[in-house]
Amino acid sequence: MSEPIKNVLSRRNLLVRGGSAALVTATLSGCGFLSTEPERDGGDSNGGGSVDTSVKESPMLAERVEAGDLEPLAERLPKEPLVVEVAELGSYGGTWRSFTQGPGDTAAFQRIAGYEPLLRKDPMVTQNLPGVATAVEASDDATTFTIRLREGLRWSDGEPLTADDLMFVVQDVAGNPDLNPTPPKWLSQDGKLAQAEKVDDYTVKLTFAQPNGLFLDLATHYIDLVAAPKHYASRFHPKYNDKAEQEAKDAGFETWTDYYDGQVNEWESVDCPVLNAWKVTTPLGEGNSVELERNPYYWKTDPEGRQLPYIDKLSYAVVMDPEVMVLKTTSGEVDLMYRHVNVPANKPVFAKSREESGYQISDLTPTSMNTMCVALNLANKNKDHRELYQNKDFRIGLSHAIDRQELITAVWQRQGEPWQAAPTKNSIYYDEEFAKQYTEFDVDTANEHLDKAGIAARDGDGFRTLPNGKNLTITLDVAQAMFSEWSAAAAIIKNMWKAVGIRLNVNAIDRTLFSERVGNEANETDACVWSGDGGAAVEIVEPRWYFPFSSQSFWATPWAEYFASDGASGEKPIDAALQQMELYWQLEKTPDQKAREDLYRQIIAIAKEQFWVIGIASAPAPYVVINNRLKNVQTPIPDTPVYYTPAHANPPTWFIQE
């Protein structure tokens, strides 16, 4: 799975439509949301007949209740728990095992234990469903949204979740210029923060300056509104603690905001209360693993009223080496392998050991459109490179110099077809011409375009020089621990580009350094590679490759900052990118879904014309490795970082059966 929506997979659901308000109130229901595989010994609907449905909570919690250290279950659950249908009623207990790369890989935890937004997507990413909120009601003009929280829901420390928590996030976090110099994009329009009104203890009304046609979808993705419990987070905020600055310095931080960010962090601080099914007890940096333990106040149950999650603990071994990840998986030491090494080249390796080690391989549905996008930094700090990289002929020449079929055969196990950074065949925005343009391997055509870009002159070694005669070397950053294929593909592309006189330096670095280099503040990257997210099911909310949209638009992060800040910061882009931004700003204010789709088609058309990014091949179906002892894991499901796959498929319903 790649690193944070439309379905083959339709997105036409519960969005504001002309003349009526959208309302999300239903609870999860229907076993169609879950499935088991007979070959994985799924058992019958009551966990193989061994589940005592009179037991409503984990024995580890029952012991605490018996000892007087914890309230009875009835007092810990909300007034209306969210009931989750399950394929099997699970048994309590056990420790789920996986791995994380360490620093920079918090997605490993987020994708299992961190998806609890106001509303949530169903496992197939086709519907908006209730979550922390029982309902979010939109006004007819999509300017006002009324959020109704789940009454009686508690944070993991037992304190109640109330409207005050949301008010704190809007007014004191999103609205604080030290924490957010510009209002978060998802919570503002035209650079103006939404106004929050506390209606009662469990109801908050958000009013935007302009219509916000995407808010309901964004409410299924962003967890920020319910990620900062006021009773805890306010301790580190100078508005509520006049000693916050000094306490931050005493703790070794330069500013109170640095201290706040570290303490109000569900993955770094063991003290930060959460709404998740599991809570960190041993964070990164305190050992060879990251440990999480069940939340006693988790607010979901199975149909028999038995509190979820079924599994007591999650354990992530810190593993940097992909070969060790593969070894741990093939030896049966991992319950679910879902990231980093689930690449085509490893699939035969996993298949060879599945019977002996007791696991199954299950395919997911890809939402990515490319195995690897090559992103030249069009907002490069280097003026010479910036000018050259913005030349479309240069990008076209580089694209024609790539033998994609050789890469597909040598690196991706013959899976996929030559493809640009364009929507997939399953997308309503699919454009075959866009997907296939400039993918033909043709050295003569490549040379023609490179010459046309003004770099016909070559040095004594046969490499092209910049128009001013200076050396031309493209430095390609590759996050080496992400996917091993990327480094292999980059090495092959290096030789292909050498054949047309382009010198390429492959810079394999760890993910943390990669993130620092590509960010808007540093903007140190010359070029880089990453997976092609946003190919289907998530295009409108994940357009990073089609225009400079977010910090993940690695091909021009300063431009993306300009977009995200509504022009208040970052760098104003060239005209074509600015036109796309203006279209998207219009799209955000458009209540009607069809009108939004029409606007997005215009954005895609400009992306096609400009050819911002070089794609390699269509993404093969991702897969997961599931240990036979882990039950209730649904496959296939769409694989999308936008909704933290597999978190949208209800990991709290998984259970372990030896």
pLDDT at residue 29 in the model: 32
pLDDT at 580: 98
Which helix (H) or strand (E) is 428 found in, with range?
none
Q: What is the pLDDT of residues 11-63, one digit of tens each?
A: 223 322 223 333 333 333 333 333 323 333 333 444 445 799 999 999 999 99
Name the strand (E) or helix (H) holding 25. none
Average pLDDT, the chain: 91
Look at strands 365-366 and 638-639 and give their pairing: parallel
CA terminus-to-terminus distance, the chain? 27
Give the pLDDT confidence of 209-241 residue by residue, as tens digits.
999 999 999 999 989 999 999 999 999 999 999
Q: What pTM, to 2 d.p., does this model score?
A: 0.86
pLDDT of residue 324: 96
Percent of the chain topping pLDDT 70:
92
At 121-159, the pLDDT tens digits run 999 999 999 999 999 999 999 999 999 999 999 999 999
Amino acid 209: pLDDT: 95
pLDDT of residue 644: 94
Distance in angstroms (rounded) separating the CA atoms of residues 382 and 316? 41
Q: How far is CA 191 from CA 103, 207, 567, in A?
A: 32, 14, 8
Q: Quick one: what percent of the chain has pLDDT higher than 90? A: 86
Calculate the dihedral angle through the C-alpha atoms of 209, 212, 217, 218, rounding to the nearest 10 degrees. Answer: -30
Q: How confident is the model at residue 518, as a pLDDT?
A: 94
pLDDT of 34 reads: 30
Cα distances (Å, whole numbers) of residue 136 to 25, 105, 233, 533: 8, 32, 25, 28
**pLDDT at residue number 480:** 82
When the candidates are 3.20.10.10, 3.50.50.100, 3.20.20.70, 3.10.105.10, the CATH number that belongs to 370-615 is 3.10.105.10
State the DSSP string of 38-97. Answer: GGG----TTTTTT--TT--S-HHHHHHHHTTSS--HHHHS-SSPEE---SSPPPP--EEE
C-alpha distance from residue 627 to each of 98, 317, 339, 359 (Å): 11, 16, 15, 4
pLDDT value, residue 49: 53
Q: Domain-by-domain residue ranges, the chain?
A: 370-615
Contact by Cβ (8 Å): 174, 187: yes
User: Whole-angstrom Cα distance, residue 393 to residue 391?
Assistant: 5
What average pLDDT does range 376-396 have in this prediction? 98
Give the chain's length.
Answer: 658
Longest dimension (CA), the chain: 82
Q: Give the pLDDT confidence score for residue 104 in this predicted structure.
A: 78
How does residue 9 score in pLDDT terms, banded at 50, 70 and 90? very low
* pLDDT tens string 475-534: 999 998 778 899 999 999 999 999 999 999 999 998 889 999 998 888 999 999 999 999
The b-or-e profile of 1-22 (16+ CB within 10 A means b, else e) is bbbbbbbbbebebbbbbeeeeb
